[in-house]
Amino acid sequence: MENQENQLNQQEQLDQIERPDGAYDENQIQVLEGLEAVRKRPGMYIGSTDERGLHHLVYEIVDNAVDEALAGFCTEIIITLHKDGSCSVQDNGRGFPVGIHPKIGRPAVEVCLTILHAGGKFGGGGYKVSGGLHGVGASVVNALSRHMQVNVYQEGKVYQQEYERGKVLYDLKVVGETDRTGTTIRFWPDVKNEYDPNGIFETGEFQYDVLKTRFREMAFLNRGIRIVFRDERPEEPKESVFHYEGGISEFVKFINKSKEVLFPEPIYISGLVGTTSVEVAMQYNDTYSENIFAFVNNIHTPDGGTHLAGFNMALTRVINDYGRKHNILKANDTNLSGEDTREGLAAIVSVKLEDPQFESQTKSKLGNSEVRTIVNSLVGKQLADYMEENPQVAKLILDRCLAASRAREAARKARDLTRRKTVLESASLPGKLADCSERDPGKCEIFLVEGDSAGGSAKMGRDRHFQAILPLRGKILNVEKTRLDRVLANEEIKAMITAFGCGVGDEFDISKLRYDRIVCMTDADVDGSHIRILMLTFFYRYMRPLIEQGHVYAAQPPLYKVTYQKMERYCYSDAELDKVMTEIGREKKPDVQRYKGLGEMSAEQLWTTTMNPETRTMLRVSVEDAIAADEIMSLLMGEKVEPRREFIEQNSKLVLDLDI
């Protein structure tokens, strides 16, 4: 008995002892109920809480409506950006089910919008194929919205329910009568600001052009669906309507609109094997790069996967077989490589299947092995039939591929001259490169500088330990209009390839990159901007992973230097200059120097303003949308003048810093 009392006393004493900071016991275990988990870790569900994450909310709701279209029940989707910061998505599908869910005991629409992993896409027979697979889309949008309202139009009635940060405000109720079917979801994103520090998103500003690009893509991929996109926020509201009866064939025409095409109509291939549908549209153009975009259930897979592998195999095999059969490829000729058959090809490969397996959470690469066989067989048969039935087009394709093969061989010889030697043979580095002493690539950066005068200042001003300088003379070659063998003959480009050390084109190996940061440092004028875009065109076409993995930057040299008595201030924009002038007082007439070029700066000034990691501003170059990037590259840098003139006429009013 005494023993028991002692034990109890000891326990009481233990309970009274304050736990040290950082204690880990049963009290630290949190159970997040309902949608709390989403609000706690939004990045797990939508990737980020910046602009990209904000747009993801819209995509999730629109994807649900598109899934209705894929199931054959929806023909029109209307997306509206409202003046009050909300977004609404309306469709004419079947509408969310409003009956009581047998397991949960609440209306099915409420279950879908308030419970994670609840939806009709888990094999219940509601959907054969869908883009949003994990059943979190609508409920996640609800959790991350300050307010959400759903209206369901079904069986002659209008049902309504509202939510606040994922919590139900009132039971589902009938608010009117209707003769239509479908769903309208309107949500107000939960934005963080001074009035609401508990908000989720850093911004609530939807970008019309970004969303428009995505909706156009969806309309191309789903033949016949009509997507209306409205923006009511500006004084003059905007509206875009996307409706393509030609589907992905029109998509290919859109990709090629700034290019000369080899034959007028894209080759279209389609078929259904079991429950897997395959659509391919392809057309060759006069450029030297391939643009093949692959999709699975309307989701873009930038890293390809089994569907793209199947297409590539079929394309190379069929073209070689046709060349041999018709004696275009002679007996002693080697087979055309995949690279040869894809040069100048614009293609869309779209597959829709019941259970897609992706190799990552980001859905960037398809893993289903059976899809490779399906696409390979289907494309192989239909493309072979097409080439037999259209011998003129087939001959054009073969001639194009043979020219690519000859150029590839010439490029290989040119590339051998530019290839980086081993450390022992480091004399092969370009003579004008001022290299750094650091040998760890992760700590190094290289500045590509316009002209020798700026190069001289940069060499004197840099930190030799980790900063390398490569001066480039004049404007480099516009690679958009030139084949690889000619590109590699250009001295300035050759110097860049050799300095970076990672090769070029299909032999590009990013693990051999000698500098973690590649900085384009050009003058802050029209010529400087042109040189920078020529560099970026080269990186995008032949060294795209540099951009995709965030290695390319644009330096931001100052535009003005303001001097008043002993004070010196650098300004990087006209707005900043205006602010500084107001601070000092315009009546005091401070001295303002406009920098036209980097060569006007001393080494010390260049270091302070543009090169010192502590004080500089740099812009990282990224690719948000590969299709849009390709379109703008072809438009601005390609051979066709007319589309470029139209673009300039349409956008000339938007220019802010015109250097005249």
- Kindly tell me the burial class for residue 592, based on how many C-beta atoms sit within 10 Å of its own C-beta (0-12, 13-18, 19 or more): middle
Please give the structure tokens belonging to residue 152. Answer: 């369901």
Strand order in the sheet with 560-564: 567-571, 560-564, 591-594
Please give the structure tokens belonging to residue 306. Answer: 């089994």
SS3 of the chain: helix, strand, coil, percent, to 5: 40, 20, 40
For tokens 């609404």, what's the residue?
88
Please give the structure tokens belonging to residue 473. Answer: 């003379």
Say how far apart CA 588 and CA 201 lie, in whole Å: 43
Residue 509: predicted pLDDT: 87
Judge whether 423 and 435 are in contact, CB under 8 Å.
Answer: no
Contacts of 361 (CB under 8 A, 6+ apart): none
Residue 242: predicted pLDDT: 96
Would you give the distance in Å from CA 603 to the centre of its chain? 37
Say how far apart CA 136 and CA 139 lie, in whole Å: 6
Say how far apart CA 639 and CA 150 lie, in whole Å: 50
CB atoms within 10 A of CB 123: 9
Residue 445: predicted pLDDT: 95
What is the chain's Cα-based Rg?
30
Judge whether 475 and 493 are in contact, CB under 8 Å.
Answer: no
Residue 120: predicted pLDDT: 53
Residue 284: predicted pLDDT: 96
pTM score, two decimals? Answer: 0.72
Say how far apart CA 68 and CA 130 lie, in whole Å: 9
Say how far apart CA 398 and CA 288 lie, in whole Å: 15
Judge whether 210 and 59 are in contact, CB under 8 Å.
Answer: no
Angle between helices 306-325 and 391-418 (to 10 degrees): 110
Say how far apart CA 134 and CA 191 lie, in whole Å: 25
For tokens 């004049």, what's the residue?
474
Say how far apart CA 379 and CA 76 lie, in whole Å: 31
Strand order in the sheet with 552-555: 467-472, 445-450, 517-521, 552-555, 618-620
The pairing of strands 291-296 and 167-168 is unpaired
Element (H, E) at 416: helix 391-418
Asked whether the CA dihedral 246, 249, 251, 257 is positive or negative, the reply is negative
Active-site residue set: 450, 523, 525, 527
Say how far apart CA 535 and CA 547 lie, in whole Å: 12
Contacts of 5 (CB under 8 A, 6+ apart): none
Residue 450: predicted pLDDT: 84
Say how far apart CA 235 and CA 243 lie, in whole Å: 26
Measured CA to CA in angstroms, residue 209 lies from 41, 54, 84 at distances of: 28, 14, 19
Q: Is 224 left (phi over 0), alpha (psi -120 to 50) or beta?
A: left
Length of the chain: 660
Please give the structure tokens belonging to residue 652. Answer: 């000339």
Residue 117: predicted pLDDT: 65
Characterize 184-213 residue by residue with b for buried, 16 or more Cβ atoms within 10 angstroms of its Cβ, and e for exposed: bbbbbbbbeeeeeeebbbeebebebebbbe
Q: Which amino acid is present at 648?
A: I
| Bridge partners of residue 281, in order along the sequence | 268, 348
- Kindly tell me the burial class for residue 61, based on how many C-beta atoms sit within 10 Å of its own C-beta (0-12, 13-18, 19 or more): buried
pLDDT mean by block of 10 residues, the chain; 660 residues: 48 45 47 67 78 89 87 92 96 91 88 75 47 61 94 95 94 94 96 84 91 93 94 94 95 91 95 93 91 90 93 97 93 90 95 84 82 96 97 95 87 61 48 88 92 82 93 84 80 89 82 93 81 88 88 90 86 85 83 82 88 89 74 74 75 58
Judge whether 364 and 298 are in contact, CB under 8 Å.
Answer: no
Measured CA to CA in angstroms, residue 228 lies from 27, 75, 423, 599 at distances of: 51, 11, 58, 51
CB atoms within 10 A of CB 525: 16
Would you give the distance in Å from CA 375 to the centre of its chain? 25
Element (H, E) at 352: strand 345-352
Residue 322: predicted pLDDT: 96
Q: CA end-to-end span of the chain, whole Å? A: 98
| Bridge partners of residue 81, in order along the sequence | 87, 231
Would you give the distance in Å from CA 113 to the centre of its chain? 28
Judge whether 256 and 287 are in contact, CB under 8 Å.
Answer: no
Please give the structure tokens belonging to residue 422. Answer: 């081993």
For tokens 């450390």, what's the residue?
423
Judge whether 540 and 633 are in contact, CB under 8 Å.
Answer: yes
Q: What are phi and psi of 408, to 5 degrees?
A: -65, -40
| Bridge partners of residue 88, in order along the sequence | 80, 186
Say how far apart CA 636 and CA 448 lie, in whole Å: 22
